[in-house]
Amino acid sequence: MGARLRAIRAAIVTALGLMMAGAHAAPMTPDPTGMWYDPAQPGWGMSLTQQGETIFAVLFVYDANHNPQWFVASNVVDTGQVMNMLVGEVYSGPLYRTTGPAYAVPSDPATLSATPVGTIQIAYVQPTNNISLAYSVNGTTVTKTVQAQTWGSNAAQLAGSFNGAILIGSTMSCQAPAPLQQVSNFTLSQGAAPGTLNVTWGSGIDVGCMMTGTYAQQGQFGTLTGPVMCGPIPNLIANVGTLTITQMTIAPTGFSGYLNYTSPMVNGSSCTVGGTIGGVKV
C-alpha cells in the first residue's frame, strides 16, 4: 500500500508540474521576430522567428580564429521566470552548433549534424524593448543587450482611410476622455513636416480630432506619438492630450497597435488611459 501511495503522489506531483509549466507557456510579447544586433560588435547578429509559443533563434558569430560560426536553438520557450523589474519574462532553450555540406555541392544528409553546445536565454529589457541575451558555448558564457535592426520604414503604408476602432482598457484609472469615445473610422495622411503623420477622426456631430504624430520604426514595429487637438470643425482646440501608439503592426491592408492617452495636467494631476487601436484600409 505504501508503494502504491508513493506512486500516486509522484503522479500527482508530475501532473501538477506539467500544469504549472503549461500555465507559464506564452508567446513572447511583443513578437520578437526579426534581426537583432549589437551596435558595439559589427558583424555579430541574431535572427529570431516566433511561431505560436516557440521561438527559433540563429546566432551568426565568429570563433577565436575569426572563422564564421552558426548556432541554432529550435525550441526557445517561456520559462515562467522573471529576472527583475527591468528585465521581463525569460525564454530559454538548448543551443546547437550545426554543420553540413558545402553550399556548392549536392546535399548530403550524412554530413549534417547538430551538436549541443549550451543554452540561450532572451528577455525584454523595459521600457526600451531591447533584448537581454545570454548564451553559452562549451562553458563560455556571453551576455549582451541587443536591439532590433531597422533598415526600412512602414510609414508609407499608413496613408489612407481606415475602418476600425479604438478600444479602451477596462482597468483604466479614469473615465475615457471624449477624444477616444466611439471612434469607428479615421484617416491617416502625411504631415507637413518630414516624418510626421496626421490622424483625424470624428468625435461627434461637426466635432473632430486630429493628432499630428512623429513616426519611428524599430525592427518590424512602428511607434506614433504626438499632441491631440479636438473641437468644432475646423476650430480645433490644441493640447487636449497626448496620444502614443506603440507596437504598430503594419500591412498594406491595415494596422493594429497599443495606445496610451495622457490628458493635460490639471490641478497638479493628469489622466492616463490605455487600450488598443486597429483599422482596415478602405
94-139: per-residue pLDDT in tens? Answer: 999 988 888 888 877 888 889 999 999 999 998 888 999 999 999 9
User: How many CA within 13 A on the CB side of residue 54?
Assistant: 6
Full-model pTM: 0.77
- pLDDT per residue over 42-96, tens digit each? 889 999 999 999 999 999 999 889 888 899 999 999 998 887 666 788 999 999 9
- pLDDT per residue over 220-267, tens digit each? 999 999 998 887 877 777 667 888 999 999 999 999 999 888 877 656
What mean pLDDT is reported for the chain?
82
Confidence of residue 143 (pLDDT cuts 50, 70, 90): very high
At 98, list the grid cell.
Answer: 550545426
Confidence of residue 10 (pLDDT cuts 50, 70, 90): very low
Q: What one-character DSSP code corresponds to residue 89?
A: E
Q: Which residue has the cell 551568426?
A: 60
pLDDT of residue 31 exceeding 80 = yes
How far apart CA 119 and CA 149 sit, in angstroms, is 23
Determine the pLDDT at residue 125: 92
Confidence of residue 164 (pLDDT cuts 50, 70, 90): confident
Distances (CA, A) of 19 to 13, 14, 22, 68: 10, 9, 5, 41
Determine the pLDDT at residue 106: 80
> Span 34-44, mean pLDDT?
93
> Span 18-45, mean pLDDT?
80
**123 CB neighbour count, 10 Å cutoff:** 22
